[in-house]
Every structure is written in C-alpha cells, then in structure tokens.
Amino acid sequence: MKKILILLITLLTVAVQAQKRPEWLKKAVFYQIYPSSFQDIDGNGIGDIKGTLSRLDYIQSIGVNTVWFNPLFKSAFQDGGYDVIDYYLVDPRFGTNTDLVEFIKDAHKRGMRVILDLVAGHSSDQSEWFKQSKEADNNLHYSDYYIWAQVKPNDLPPQEASKWVEANAPRAKYYVKNFYNSQPALNYGYANPNPNHPWEQSIDASGPQAVRRELQNIILFWMEKGVDGFRVDMAASLIKNDPDKSATIALWKKLTAWFDKKFPEGVLIAEWFNPTQAIEGGFDIDFYLSGSLFSSRGRGTQTPSRVYFDKAGTGDFATWYKTYIGHYESTAGKGYVSVPTGNHDNPRIATATRNDGPQLKVAMTFLLTLPGAPFIYYGDEIGLKFIPNLPSIEGSNVRSGERTPMQWDNTQNAGFSTAPIEKIYIQQDPDPNRPTVANQDKDPSSLLNFVRALLAFRAKSEALGNDGEFKMIGDINEPYPLIYMRTKGNEKYIIGLNPSDKPVEAEITTLNSVRVKYSFGTNEKCSYKPGKTVDKIKIPSVSAAIFKVQ
Ligand code: NOJ
C-alpha cells in the first residue's frame, strides 16, 4: 500500500512538473504595443499609458487577450526605450508606476493579461549603475555590473572587437557594449574565461552573481505589481564568449526554473530567434520572424520576385520553411515558436505594393493559422503601412517606418494626439485615404473585421489553436497554393493560400475524407475536391481558405 502511494505521488509530481506552462497560454493571443506610438492622452505628441488604457475596449475587440508593451521604463531614449536608466520606474513620458498598475488591474478585470519588456542584457550608459561602475574605485556596489578593460587586445575576433567602446573612464579605457555605444552590456560573466584576459570574469564571480540577483529583483518587483510576465530582450546575449550558447542556456534554465516555481502563472518569452535553444533554456515562447516571406531585413527593398507574399507568385517559401519546421519539431509540446505579424524592428506586412485588403488578408490567414501563440503588432490589424525613408527618431535608425503612430480616425493626427503635427512622435502615413480603425470598424469587409473573425474562428478550434499540430501537405518548392494541415485529435483543417495574382490549383495525395468543406477565408470560390487517389485544391488569385475535414 505504502509503495503504491509513493508511486502515485511520484507520478503526480512528474505530471505537475511536465505541465509547467500556464494553462492560459493555450489560448493566449498577444498584441504588441509600442507605447510612444499608440495613444497620446496628455497632448505632447507621444503615446502614454493612460492613452493606451482608454483604448482597451478596442484592443479587446480584436480578439487578443494579452498586451505586450515595449519598454516603459525610465530611459535616455537613445534606442527607443531599450536603453534603461531605471528598471524600477515607469518613464514619466508614459506616466507613473501607479498608472501602470491601474492599467494591469483594468486589463485583469477584463480577463486580459499584461507583459513587459525586460531589457536584461544592457542598461543605458546614463544609469546610476553605469555611472558608479565608471569610477576609479572598483570596489563599489555596481563596479562589476559591466565589463571593463584597460587594454584592447588586437587579436579579438571582429564580431567581439566591434563591441568594445573607448570610454576613457576613470575605471578603465574600454567597456563592452551590446547594441549601441549607449548600451553597455551587463556583466553576466564569460563562458570559459581566459586567465590572460582579466576582464573575462567567471559566471560565478561576485559581479555576475550580483547582476543576476538584480535581474531577479526587477522581475520580482514587477510581478508583485501584477504583471503576467516578460518578453526578454536579446536573451541570448547574456553570457559572453558562448558560441554554442550552452552557458547562456544553462543560466536561463536556472532563472526560468526559479521564475516558474515562484510564478506558475507567469510567462517568459525570449527574443532569441532560436526557439530550439530558448525553449531548452526554459522559455515558454520564442520568436521566429517571417522575414524573407515578406521582405528581407533590407527595409522592403528585396526584389519582389523572391518574396513569397507577393502578387508576382514567383517567391521562395522553402528556405524560410526549412528552418521554421526544424524549430517547430524540436520544440513541439514543450514551448511555442511564434511568428509575429510584425514588430518594431522590421518592416510591416503592409509594405510597398503589398498594401491592399485582399493581399493583407491572405498574409493574416497564414500568420494567424500557424501553431504557437499569435502576436499582432499594433496597427497590423488595420494594415498600417510601413513608411519608408523617415528620419531616425530616438535611435530608431531605419526602423521609424514601422513605428508610426496608430491611426484611429479622421480627426487631427488620425486621433493619435491633439498636439500640433510637428510634435507627433513619428510622422504618420500622409495618404488622405490612410487606413483607420473608425473606417474599418464600420466596413464588414475590412481587414480589421477579417482579423476579428479569423481570431474568433481560431479561438473556437483546438486544431487551429496554439497547440494544434502543424503539417505541411503541399510541395514547398511549388508553394502556390501553399497547403498545410492543422490537427488536434479528430479535428482537422486544411489551409490553402495563394498570394499570387493568378488562380492556382494543386493535387495532393488523397486524405480519404468523406467531406472537406470551405469554412472560412477570403473567397468562397476556393474549392477542395476529394478524389480516389488525389484531392484537388483550387484557390483563385490573392485568396485564402480554411477547409474543415470531416
Ligand atoms: C532588440 C530590440 O527589439 C531592439 O529594438 C533593440 O534596439 C535591441 N534589442 C537592443 O536592445
């Protein structure tokens, strides 16, 4: 009897451990908000928390249930908030800590959740930590929060050498940065430190240990204020000289285990871009960008003939897919690979000639029928356009075009702000017919209403949901139409997509189904005809369909 009891307890413990992802993640749909560009309420031309709060009804109406804010902390804004001065304080431009707590409370009342952006790898060079670390006395509390060296060896690999910044500080001549010079890397230590390199401290040295505790404090501070988790900026960057990332994965394993134990309902999302590694490190989600399917990272300048989502219909799908599927397969059942509709670092899906409702609906059908939690970048649901050649704002560099303020209605500054136009954070789309929430809200055929309907359709289906299985059915080298299946138990859907401006058809090995019927999409003329040996799928130009298999 006693033995059976012990066995039962052990089995139960194992089951609980394996089930560590919060249940709500299964239905989570994220909405990413770049706070400077969403809604300005105090009329200074920059978005704020109270403004965003005033738009929660709208956010919820889309069918999303979790808000991710890009950094809200006190910042020098030399990299749009990713250069944090004080991790424990909301930047006054956005409001106060109390405003954020109010926002979280309101979201929670609606059954929504809120996650923040945790810039774990570097602070601003204007933070008190860095200021103290620069001092000649290297025994101060923050002295070893950063990586300092007196001499720069000339045999550093180019990638590493480019990260050394000449500071001529009393402490030492050089520090190591993460991204811009104004973003000194926090010191989490080096994998296999070289004894001849005194700046390479071990992971267990007191500086790296103190930085790790600080990170945990920041997490505790905001979790206790009610946030539901974090997206961790440059999560792969923490430990230096770690080419296979094994030390960084090991560090995250410890941190995520600590977090999961303390906050079983909390989530940690990596910005790692290698889901296999991130999920091994214990993250719940990592991103895999749709990059080459929509444009290169070259700001929408890639020749359309190679872009998959283009009317030319001559694009490449296979290259993107091969890496995607590797990550999907190695993480299935353990965590999510999320392909966001866009983000603050990449051109939007509405770029250049891919800018009309039908094309964007096909793109959305793809992005919102993939497994893993969907992430909608604010404005993508109305087809907010990438605006090329805008000046750099607060370190946006070439990224201004995807950070333009939200377009709400036809009033001044599209309802984003009452400030004079020259005070607006980033210039908005100058087109008099620019998309707005107000116009699309009342148009049943708008992209916004399509996205709402698609998310509602997805929410009702386990197969199309975050945990439904994904399988490519069509030929990835002949990807027009693109055909894949989503399955959960006996529930099955086939998705067929055709971004090209020609009607296309494909034959696939028969699924031997009694019936396959069009259930949702952009064009009811899409058809699926089951046959004895092959099934025939027809998709008219620029169309997408979701077929139910019965
Ligand atoms: C990734 C962020 O998404 C990006 O906006 C930022 O510039 C870098 N990390 C540096 O923090």
Domain-ending residue, one of 392, 427, 459: 459
Same domain, 318 and 450: yes
**Domain assignment present for 145:** no
**Domain assignment present for 286:** yes
Place of tokens 């960084």: 248
Same domain, 514 and 371: no
**Domain assignment present for 252:** yes
**Domain assignment present for 109:** yes
Ligand 1, atom 11: closest residue by C-alpha = 82
* 83 Cβ inside 6 Å of ligand 1: no
Q: Could you tell me the distance, in angstroms and rounded to a whole number, from the CA of residue 269 to the centre of ligand 1?
A: 14
What range defines the domain where residue 503 resides?
469-549
Same domain, 381 and 445: yes
Same domain, 337 and 475: no
CA gap 216, 221 in Å, rounded: 8
* 102 Cβ inside 6 Å of ligand 1: no
Same domain, 495 and 364: no
Question: Residue 493 is encoded by which pair of tokens?
Answer: 């859907």
296 CB-contact burial (10 Å; exposed 0-12 / middle 13-18 / buried 19+) = middle
**Domain assignment present for 541:** yes
Q: For ligand 1, what atom is nearest to the CA of residue 122?
A: 11
* pTM of the entire predicted model: 0.95
* 79 Cβ inside 6 Å of ligand 1: yes
CA gap 382, 51 in Å, rounded: 19
Domain-ending residue, one of 427, 459, 491: 459
Question: What integer pLDDT is reported at residue 295 of this predicted model?
Answer: 77
Strands 516-521 and 543-549: antiparallel
Question: What integer pLDDT is reported at residue 136 of this predicted model?
Answer: 97
Indicate which CATH number applies to the domain containing 251: 3.20.20.80
CA gap 215, 297 in Å, rounded: 31
Q: Could you tell me the distance, in angstroms and rounded to a whole number, from the CA of residue 119 to the centre of ligand 1?
A: 8
Q: Could you tell me the distance, in angstroms and rounded to a whole number, from the CA of residue 15 to the centre of ligand 1?
A: 37
Same domain, 368 and 428: yes
Q: What are phi and psi of 447, to 5 degrees?
A: -60, -45
Indicate which CATH number applies to the domain containing 503: 2.60.40.1180
**Domain assignment present for 179:** no
Task: State how many domains the chain has.
Answer: 2
Question: What integer pLDDT is reported at residue 306 of this predicted model?
Answer: 82
Domain-ending residue, one of 440, 459, 478: 459
Same domain, 425 and 477: no
Q: For ligand 1, what atom is nearest to the CA of residue 119?
A: 11
Ligand 1, atom 2: closest residue by C-alpha = 233
186 CB-contact burial (10 Å; exposed 0-12 / middle 13-18 / buried 19+) = buried
Best probe residue, ligand 1, of 179, 182, 344 (max atoms within 8 Å of C-beta): 179
Output the CA–CA distances (angstroms, integers) from residue 498 to 13, 315, 321, 481, in the order listed: 47, 11, 16, 5
Q: Could you tell me the distance, in angstroms and rounded to a whole number, from the CA of residue 454 to the centre of ligand 1?
A: 30
- Ranges of residues in the chain whose predicted pLDDT is under 50: 11-19, 297-298, 302
Same domain, 453 and 473: no
Same domain, 360 and 383: yes
Q: Could you tell me the distance, in angstroms and rounded to a whole number, from the CA of residue 426 to the centre of ligand 1?
A: 18
Q: Could you tell me the distance, in angstroms and rounded to a whole number, from the CA of residue 82 to the centre of ligand 1?
A: 6
Best probe residue, ligand 1, of 233, 394, 402 (max atoms within 8 Å of C-beta): 233
* 177 Cβ inside 6 Å of ligand 1: no
Question: What integer pLDDT is reported at residue 491 of this predicted model?
Answer: 98
Same domain, 385 and 317: yes
Q: For ligand 1, what atom is nearest to the CA of residue 395?
A: 7
Q: Read off the DSSP letter of residue 143.
A: G
* 82 Cβ inside 6 Å of ligand 1: yes
Same domain, 414 and 478: no
Packing angle, helices 447-459 and 357-367, rounded to 10: 20
Q: Could you tell me the distance, in angstroms and rounded to a whole number, from the CA of residue 392 to the centre of ligand 1?
A: 15
Same domain, 417 and 321: yes
**Domain assignment present for 397:** yes
Q: List pLDDT tens digits, range 123-179.
A: 999 999 999 999 999 999 999 999 999 999 998 989 899 999 999 999 999 999 999
**Domain assignment present for 313:** yes
